[in-house]
Amino acid sequence: MEEPTLNEHNKQEYPPMHTTEHILNQTMVRMFGCPRSKNAHIERKKSKCDYLLASCPTAEQIQAVEDKVNEAIAQHLPVTINFMPREEAAIIVDLSKLPEDASPTLRIIKVGNYDACACIGTHVKNTSEIGKFKIISSDYSEGNLRIRFKLIL
């Protein structure tokens, strides 16, 4: 099979953190209708993701984000790799970030039925490997929400 090319950077990131990024992105999309994070810094000890939001979320909303991510993790969802044609992938995944020269076959990562996303990175096999998600801080400035988080095993 042809090696799929995607525009996401070559992620050799800590798989539990990177998989959490997928879950957090989906949670933010569901709760706020915002795009997935386009600016993320994922590291083993702590990570950060930026989201475009029209207004500053309340402390309760931030707590709800943390709870929702932990709920998904606690379901011990299987993380699966699916190769599928671009047309098929477009039905379940936002491909607007995909470059023009991306291959016709895409690598789609599914976290249970919670999230689906085109990604070439490394992930855990099950969310049971992630531990507990903890938001360290959230800072809102000029339409940008920065969430810093860590995992507690």
Using CB under 5 A as the criterion, which residues of the chain lie in contact with Zn ion when the complex forms?
119, 121
Here the tokens at position 138 are 């959230």
Whose CA is closest to 148, among 46, 18, 53, 15?
46
Return the number of the residue (27 or 57) whose C-beta is nearest Zn ion. 27
If the CB atoms of residues 3 and 142 are measured against Zn ion, the closer one turns out to be 3
Query: Which DSSP state fits 129?
Result: G
Q: How many CB atoms lie within 10 A of CB 95?
A: 16
Q: How far is the CB of 119 from Zn ion (least distance, A)?
A: 3
**Minimum separation from the CB atom of position 32 to Zn ion (A):** 21
- Whichever of 77 and 119 has its CB closer to Zn ion, that residue is 119
CB of 18 to Zn ion, least distance (A): 5
Residue least distant from Zn ion (Cβ) = 119
CA quadruple 42, 48, 49, 50: dihedral sign: negative
